[in-house]
Amino acid sequence: MAGQWVEVDGGIMEGGGQILRVSTALSCLLGLPLRVQKIRAGRSTPGLRPQHLSGLEMIRDLCDGQLEGAEIGSTEITFAPEKIRGGTHTADTKTAGSVCLLMQVSMPCVLFAASPSELRLKGGTNAEMAPQIDYTVMVFKPIVEKFGFTFNCDIKMRGYYPKGGGEVIIRMSPVKQLNPINLTDRGSVTKIYGRSFVAGVLPFKVAKDMAAAAVRCIRKEVRDLYVNIQPVQESKDQAFGNGNGIIIIAETSTGCLFAGSSLGKRGVNADRVGIEAAEMLLANLRHGGAVDEYLQDQLIIFMALANGVSRIKTGPVTLHTQTAIHFAEQLAKAKFTVKKSEDEEDSTKDTYVIECQGIGMTNPNI
C-alpha cells in the first residue's frame, strides 16, 4: 500500500494547519491517497487541534474517504479519498476555531461535487489568526467569484473567542471548470468603508471609539475620500458571547478590494484596535499589489485548478502563499512563477506577479 501514498511533510514552511487544509483539499479533488507527517511539529502544542480535526472530518465526509490517525495531538494522518458528493455537510469546531478556515478547506472540493452543497460551519466567525467572516463576505467572495462560480453565505450566529458558538451556512452549486483570473491592474482607491462592532456586554461606545480612531488614522494618509465606518451593536439573537472588532475595506476603480481588520482583546483599549486595523489597511495599500496579503494564499488553490493562465499582482509574498504554491505544485502539478513586477509604477515598491498555469480540473459529474 505504502508505494502509492503521496507523502506530505507537515513541518516545513508555514508548518501548521494551512498545510493540512491545502493538501487534504487537493487530495480530495485529485483522488490522491495522502499521508501527512510531522503535523504542526514546531508549534507550542504540536499535532492536531480541535479545529483541524473538524476540517479533516468534514473533508472525509465530503468524499466518503478513509481517514486514519485523526485525533487531538496526532502528528500523522492518512487519508484516502473517494468520489466528492454534494448535499448537506456539517463541521463543528466545538471551540472558537474559525469557520472561515473550515470554508477554505471545503469550498474547492464542493465546486467539483456531483450536486449542490450546503455547508453548515460552526465555531468562531470573528476569531484571531484567521480571516473574519466579514472579510470572507466583503473581500474574498467578490474576488473568488471571478473564477466563475458563486456562493451564498448566511451568517446565522456570530461567535467569538473563547466560546465560539457561531454558525455560518454556505450554499453553492458545482461547476464544470474554473476560469483563470487576472488581477494585475490595481486602479486608484475610490471608496473606504467598514464595520466596527461590539457584541454581548461590551458598551456601544467601544464600537464608536474604534471607528473614530481608525478614521483619524486613515485621514493622515488619505485626505480626499470620505471614510464611512459604521459602528454596530450585534443583536443578542445573532451573536453568542462577547466580542469587539473592526474591518475596513478599500475599493478601487478596477474593483480590487483591500482590507485591514482587528479584534479586541481584554486590556486593549478601543482606539488601539481601530488604529491597528487602519494601519493594516494602509500597509496593504502601499505595496502596489492588486490583492491584499490575506487574499494571496486563499487564491492559490483556485489558480492551480483553473483552466488557463492566472496572474495576480501582490505585495511581498507571504509564507502562507509560498506554502500553498509548494503543495499546489507537488500535488496538483500546477506550474507557478513568482517574479518582481516590471511595471514602471512598481519600480520603487515591493511588488510581485504570481503567475500560474492551472491544470484545468474538470468536474466529471457535469
Report d(CA 217, CA 195) in Å as an integer.
15
Instruction: Please give the helix or strand (H or E) that residue 249 lies within, else none.
Output: strand 243-252
Read off the DSSP letter of residue 275: H
The catalytic position among 52, 287, 320, 326 is 320
Strands 189-199 and 166-172, by their bridges, are unpaired
For residue 75, which amino acid is it? T
Residue 191 bridge partners (DSSP): 251
Is the CB of residue 251 less than 8 Å from the CB of residue 138?
no
Distance of alpha carbon 326 from the chain centroid: 17
Strands 182-183 and 309-314, by their bridges, are parallel
Cell triple for residue 351?
511588488
Cell triple for residue 158?
456570530
Residue 135 assigned as binding residue:
no
Residue 320 annotated among the catalytic residues of the structure:
yes
Buried residues in 125-163 as b, exposed as e (16+ CB within 10 A): bbbeebbbbbbbbbbbeebbebbbbebebebebbbbbee
Q: How many CA atoms lie within 13 A of 146 on its CB side?
A: 17
Residue 160 bridge partners (DSSP): 126, 164
Residue 66 assigned as binding residue:
no
Residue 298 assigned as binding residue:
yes
Residue 297 assigned as binding residue:
yes
Cell triple for residue 153?
453565505
Report d(CA 357, CA 174) in Å as an integer.
22
Cα–Cα distance list, 143 to 29, 258, 292 (Å):
22, 11, 11
Binding residues for ATP: 104, 294-298
Binding residues: 104, 294-298
Annotated catalytic residues are 320
